[in-house]
Amino acid sequence: MSDCIFCQIAKGEVPARVVYEDDEVVAFEDINPQVPVHVLVIPRQHYNDIGDDVPEALLGHLLAVAARVAQEKGVAETGYRLLTNIGEDGRQTVGHLHMHVLGGAKMPIRMGPAD
C-alpha cells in the first residue's frame, strides 16, 4: 500500500532506525518509545493485522525476530513484553501488522487506561 507508513519504511522510502532486516521482516525503533527499549517488528508485505490470512511461517518468523531483537537490545535476560494491537478497540494506530518489543523497565499490568 503506497500510503502505509510501515510499507514506506520497509521499502526504505521513509527513514527509520532499523535494528534488523531481512527479505521478509524489518525491525526498527519506535519514534515515540513507551519504555527504554521499544522496537517494532513488521513484515515487509502489507497485512492489516494478524487475522489478515498471514502465513504461519511468517508469523513464526516475526516471533523469532522479536526474540532476536530482545536479545540484541539486552532485555531477554530481565524480561520483555511482546504486543500486537488489532483493530480500533485493540488500539491499533497503524493498519499494518506489527509487533512491539517492549523492555528495559518493569512493565505495568496495564499499558494504559481502558476507556
Contact 57, 76 (CB under 8 A): no
What local confidence, expressed as pLDDT, does residue 64 receive? 98
Joined together, the cell numbers standing for residue 34 give 513507551
- In this prediction, residues 80-94 reach a mean pLDDT of 92
Determine what percent of the chain is predicted with pLDDT higher than 70.
Answer: 94
Determine the pLDDT at residue 107. Answer: 83
Q: Which cell is 7 given?
A: 510499507
In angstroms, the first-to-last Cα distance of the chain is 31
Which is more confidently placed, 112 or 35?
Answer: 35
Work out the pLDDT band at 108, boundaries 50, 70, 90.
Answer: confident
Locate cell 526504505: which residue? 12
| Average pLDDT, rounded, for the chain | 92
Choose, from 38, 61, 96, 98, the residue flagged as catalytic: 98
Give the 3-state DSSP-derived string for the chain, with helices as H, strands as E and coil as C: CCCCHHHHHHCCCCCCCEEEECCCEEEEECCCCCCCEEEEEEECCCCCCCCCCCCHHHHHHHHHHHHHHHHHCCCCCCCEEEECCCCCCCCCCCCCCCEEEEECCCCCCCCCCCC
pLDDT tens digits, 10-55: 999 999 999 999 999 999 999 999 999 999 999 999 999 999 999 9
- Please report which confidence band the pLDDT of residue 115 belongs to, taking 50, 70 and 90 as the band edges: very low
46 is catalytic: no
Pairing state between β 25-29 and 37-43? antiparallel
Which pLDDT score, from 0 to 100, does residue 1 have? Answer: 63
Handedness of CA 50, 5, 76, 90 (dihedral sign): negative
